[in-house]
Chains A and B, each alone.
Chain A
Amino acid sequence: MIDALLANLDTLLLLALAIGALSGAALMIVLRQPMRVALALIATMVCLSGIFGLMGMHFAAAFQVLIYVGAVMVFMVFAIMLLEERDAGAARYSKLLLPGIVGLLLLLATLVGGVWRALPSPRGELSDAPLGMVKFSTAFLAEYWLHFELTSVLLVAAVVAAIAVIRIGRRGRGG
């Protein structure tokens, strides 16, 4: 039994992480308090990170945790904490719940029928060949160098914009 388990460990782990991610997503919709929703999202992200690792994209997994969980979600948690007290008993769902459900079902139907079923045929079970750091780096700095530079521009722009927003905020406060 343990052998069978160990032989298919990858598959089981993948399945477990997938289920985890989906549960986290579902919980996000259902939970009432924003902090709990944030935690659900963090759980989803961690599961995704695991999936990335199992796929052999270790750097992606690392960045997922580092950037998404470590920066984005921490910032989000801070924001929640800052703005929390105001709306203790606010409503959970907008008036578009039912239309939203209808839309969701439609979208899922389209996606499943159109995209999921049409996926290409399997190439073999759990092929584990990792993409490899070398291959990734070469591509990133050779073929996609422009995108690399543009990201740095984007980050500068974001920093400048953040400073500008602080300024606006200060002026609004009368300072």
Chain B
Amino acid sequence: MGTLTLIVLLPLLGFLLNGVWGTALGGRAMGQRAVAIVGCVLPLLSFALALQACMQLARGGWAPIVETAYRWAQLGDSGFDVAFYLDRLSAVMLLVVTGVGSAIHVYSIGYMAQDKGFGRFFAYLNLFLFFMLLLVLGRSMLVLFVGWEGVGLASYLLIGFWFDDVANARAGKKAFVTNRVGDAGFLLGMFLLYQGLGTLEMDRINAAFAAGQAGMLPASLAGVLLFIGASGKSAQIPLHVWLPDAMAGPTPVSALIHAATMVTAGVYLVARLSGLYLHAPEASALIAAVGVATAFFAATIALVQTDIKKVLAYSTVSQLGFMFLALGVGAYGVAIFHLVTHAFFKACLFLGAGSVIHALHGEQDLRKMGGLARRIPVTFVTFAIATAAIAGIPPLAGFFSKDEILWFAFASARGGSPWLWAVAAATALMTAFYMFRLLWLAFLTPSRMARDVEARVHESPPSMTGVLVLLAALSAVGGFIAVPHFLEPQLALPPLHESLLAAEQPLLWISVALALAGLALAAALYAGRGERARRLAAALTTPHRWLLGKYYVDELYERVLGAPLVWLSDRVLLRVSDRLLIDGALHGATAIGRLGAALLGRLQTGSLQVYAWFVLIGIAGALWWGVRHV
């Protein structure tokens, strides 16, 4: 068995072991410790093997490694294989997924220690990892799609992990259904590509486009359809509605799935098919527009949210928008760079939030926090580092990746424009502002905690704080891993407008200024008792209400889509076609049977003479027939 196949299968083994013997299904044969060991060692093993595979790739001169596991289906001369593919891009993703994934698994040991679904949790987490690895390493779009759907399933299971509360289950359902809407586009895009090129293997698709053999295939149409799928998975407008609701799941889930890995699958998909998108300028323009709009839109909502996890959720949507902006202007490597740094600091932020929630025994409302900097110092410091990283303060990781995006949005010859830059820059300012707002409200303002909660505040166990420290360190120095440069041989950076080259330095300083301005603004409004912030909110009631209500998008969807569907299902499908037609046909059939039985039953009069009469007629008939045919 090849290394890549083994990397994919180890988490699956973890799922099976924990899923059967770690849960009530197997009678909880494995205790919590055994579950934790199995659940964490296998992903760590995958990470080690991933490192080894990458070194092997390097030694081979970065020529892509292909491993075919087996032939899935044979159709005439051709067919579909289950094959794994390792090149520069998938190597980067692989290391992020296994590395950050393993870290979050370790964190979960401490976070979920008191939960009675401990075994189930680790089983689902391992399952998720398995599917994510299928997605990342798959050579064919079919294998990727299997992973795509699989992570959607794992996401559903984990969002609704505490399904005793119906709201959680509903959130899981919302995530899954919204994803499926996007998947319709994904499937159509796949069909188009298969019909046009006869293959679904992504390296061959890119090669076909590069060699100009795509011919009549409408690349932009395929590109748009695939982007619809990507926006479902990566929560772009208009399919972003599920991500904030997904915060109903345990915090490690939010960190792993809804920040670092699953939601980046859409970005990964577009980057993988860069060969296609280079020949689809309309699709790319759409991606950039939707990305920057989503980024701006989500950032405005994050400004006023009061739940610590919701702020981070909208922040994730916003940062994903940045990544798509980079993809849209042809800077594929830069988008992946931001993906990597985002994985570091966003995971750190979510896990830090989890640490806070753990310390406060379940409190998530920012209005009831404050004064935690001294009480839980490790959490505070790591959180602060990650906040600075996302705000774009140099020399932390977020500064490098975000600045690159802003630069290419401005100057790329493949669709960059000052407008894109302006909106993105405004979003960056807001990002810094709301993240520092979060930091102040949770940690640096005087305490607004409830008395009994405040008395029991405690720092998290080492299994949690250790991971936080690791991720904070990566957020700090991760910017120096020159990812775009590393990916350049595969994902070339776009050409730039000659006339704009001089603007690079000034724009750099503007980025720094924006980050610091956000910090200052937040401190000014929220330091102390937050009086100035309250007065501002009172002065701007209508905008405040709209932002707090998330622009009422959910309500709109309910009115326009949900209610008519329910009406259709009830009035037409239930009453007419199910009850009237199908049940009616069935009852009609039985009624006919019953009618026939009733009629025939009349023959049994019980009267001997009637029967004798039948004998008479019968003899006459039989004789007649017999004589005729003798």
Contact = CB atoms under 8 A, between A and B. Distances in A.
Contacts of A110: 620, 623-624, 627
A114 B616 contact: no
Interface in A67-123: 94, 96, 99-100, 103-104, 106-107, 109-111, 113-115, 118
B268 to A, nearest CB: 88
Interface in B598-630: 607, 609-610, 613, 616-617, 619-620, 623-624, 626-627
A111 B613 contact: no
B609 A113 contact: no
A118 B624 CA distance: 13
Given A103-B616, A104-B616, A114 B623 contact: yes
A113 B609 CA distance: 26
Nearest to A113: B627
B624 A114 contact: yes
Contacts of A103: 613, 616-617, 620
Interface residue SS majority, chain B = helix
Nearest to B622: A110
A146 to B, nearest CB: 29
Contacts, number: 33
Contact of B613 (A96, A114, A115): A96
Contacts of B607: 94
A114 B627 contact: yes
A129 to B, nearest CB: 30
Which secondary structure characterizes the binding site on chain A? helix
A129 B627 CA distance: 31
B623 A100 contact: no
B446 to A, nearest CB: 106
Nearest to A102: B617
Nearest to A117: B627
A4 B624 CA distance: 42
B40 to A, nearest CB: 88
A113 B626 CA distance: 12
A64 B93 CA distance: 113
Interface string B193-219: 000000000000000000000000000
A90 B619 CA distance: 30
A95 to B, nearest CB: 9
Given A110-B627, A113-B627, A114-B627, A96 B620 contact: no
Contacts of B610: 96
A109 B621 CA distance: 11
B613 to A, nearest CB: 6
A107 B607 CA distance: 21
A96 B610 CA distance: 7
A96 B624 contact: no
A103 B626 CA distance: 18
B620 to A, nearest CB: 4
Interface in B257-302: none
B613 A106 contact: no
Contacts of B626: 114
B623 A96 contact: no
The 5 tightest CB contacts between A and B, nearest first, are A114-B627, A103-B616, A107-B620, A106-B620, A110-B623
Interface of A: 94, 96, 99-100, 103-104, 106-107, 109-111, 113-115, 118
Given A96-B610, A100-B613, A113-B627, 15 more contacts: A94-B609, A96-B609, A99-B613, A103-B613, A103-B616, A103-B620, A107-B616, A107-B619, A107-B620, A110-B623, A110-B627, A111-B623, A114-B627, A115-B623, A118-B627
14 contacts: A94-B609, A96-B609, A99-B613, A100-B616, A103-B613, A103-B620, A106-B620, A107-B616, A107-B619, A107-B620, A107-B623, A111-B623, A114-B623, A118-B627
